[in-house]
């Protein structure tokens, strides 16, 4: 567990704040710019532990997490974020097309699993769907 009660901080409400956790600076930088162009506010962490620390300090509506990170596996990061932030969307990305990883990620709470290289529209669509799904669930719980 990250050490933050998910009830203390929810999403930003507008669904537009995203944390990218990916160890490839060129890829993360490109994704950061694309998200900014699409109206998202984004931050980047290049290690899983750094992403977990950033998640304690800021509120995010979604996380984009690479499966292979230098310090923690993406699925470990996913599990910790899922437990701490159940109302945030989580999209896994990977350069390794292994079906087992996809199934494990989805079972661990990922909303989508996308294999690199991908068309950026595919990621944006998955991100929007995931954020909208979590917003709808939050609204139905609050009624």
- The pLDDT value recorded for residue 96 is 78
Which residues of the chain fall short of a pLDDT of 50?
Answer: 1-11, 13
Question: What angle separates helix 48-57 from helix 74-84, to the nearest 10 degrees?
Answer: 20
Q: Would you list the domain boundaries of the chain?
A: 17-142
Q: Looking at the domain that runs over 17-142, which CATH code has it been given? A: 3.40.50.2300
d(CA 87, CA 121): 23
Cβ-count burial of 6 within 10 angstroms (0-12 exposed, 13-18 middle, 19+ buried)? middle
- The whole-number pLDDT of residue 131 equals 94
The pLDDT, as a whole number, for residue 59 is: 93
The pTM of the full predicted model, rounded to 2 decimals, is 0.86
């Amino acid at each position: 567990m990250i050490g933050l009660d998910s009830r203390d901080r929810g999403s930003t409400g507008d669904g537009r704040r995203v944390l990218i956790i990916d160890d490839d600076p060129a890829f993360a930088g490109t994704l950061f710019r694309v998200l900014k162009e699409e109206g998202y506010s984004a931050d980047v962490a290049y290690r899983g532990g750094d992403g977990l620390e950033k998640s304690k300090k800021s509120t995010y509506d979604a996380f984009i997490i690479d499966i292979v990170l230098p310090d923690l596996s993406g699925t470990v990061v996913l599990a910790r974020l899922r437990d701490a932030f159940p109302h945030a969307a989580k999209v896994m990305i990977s350069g390794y097309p292994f079906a087992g990883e996809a199934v494990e990620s989805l079972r661990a709470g990922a909303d989508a699993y996308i294999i690199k290289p991908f068309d950026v529209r595919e990621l944006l669509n998955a991100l929007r769907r995931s954020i909208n799904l979590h917003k709808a669930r939050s609204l139905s719980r609050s009624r």
